[in-house]
Amino acid sequence: MARRMNALRNGASAILAGAALMLLVVGCAPPPPALRLEPAPFSSLAGWADDDHDRALAAFLVSCSRLQAGAVGEAWARLGVGREALNSVCAAAAAVPLGQGDAARLFFEQNFTPALATDNGNPTGLFTGYYEPELRGAEHRGGPYQTPIFRLPDNLVTVDLGAFREDLKGQQLVGQLAGRSVVPVPTRAEIERGALSGRDLEMIWVDSAVDAFFLHIQGSGRVIMDDGRVIRLGYAGKNGRPYYAIGRELIRRGAISEEQMSMHAIRTWLSEHPQEAAEVMAKNPSFVFFRRIDGPGPVGAQNIVLTPERSLAVDPAFIPLGAPLWLETTDPLAPTPLRRLVVAQDTGGAIKGPVRGDLFWGSGAAAGDRAGAMKQTGRYYLLLPRAPAAKGATGQALSAR
Q: Is residue 11 part of a domain?
A: no
pLDDT above 90 covers what percent of the chain? 73
* pLDDT higher than threshold 80 for residue 202: yes
- At position 297, the amino acid (one-letter code) is G
Do 226 and 289 share a structural domain? yes
Q: Are residues 162 and 226 in the same domain?
A: yes
What's residue 2's pLDDT?
44
> For 71-126, what is each residue's pLDDT tens digit?
778 899 999 999 999 999 999 999 999 988 899 999 999 999 999 999 999 999 99
Q: Please tell me the least confidently modeled range out of 16-25, 117-126, 178-187.
A: 16-25
**Domain with 247 in it:** 145-293
Whether 271 and 199 map to the same domain: the answer is yes
| Nearest-angstrom CA–CA distance, 119 and 398 | 9
pTM for this structure?
Answer: 0.76
Give the phi and the psi of residue 256 in degrees, each rounded to 5: -140, 135
Do 158 and 276 lie in one domain? The reply is yes
Does 171 lie in the same domain as 225? yes
* pLDDT tens sequence across 291-341: 998 888 888 899 899 999 999 999 999 999 999 999 999 999 998 999 999
3-state helix/strand/coil string of 192-249: HCCCCCCCCCEEEEECCHHHHHHHHHHCEEEEEECCCCEEEEEEEEECCCCCCCHHHH
301 neighbors 313 (Cβ within 8 angstroms): yes
**Tens of pLDDT along 23-60?**
333 445 678 999 999 999 999 999 999 999 999 999 99
pLDDT, position 8: 37
- What pLDDT, on the 0 to 100 scale, is given for residue 70? 77
Three-class DSSP labels, 337-372: EEEEEEEEEECCCCCCCCCEEEEEEEEHHHHHHHHH
Q: Is 384 helix (H, G, I), strand (E, B) or coil?
A: strand
In a domain, 139, yes or no: no
- pLDDT band at residue 387 using 50, 70 and 90 as cut-offs: low
Question: What is d(CA 88, CA 384) in angstroms, rounded to the nearest whole number?
Answer: 12
Number of domains comprising the chain: 2
Please check whether residues 304 and 289 belong to one and the same domain.
no
Distance CA 68, CA 324 (A): 15
Domain closes at, from 293, 324, 358: 293
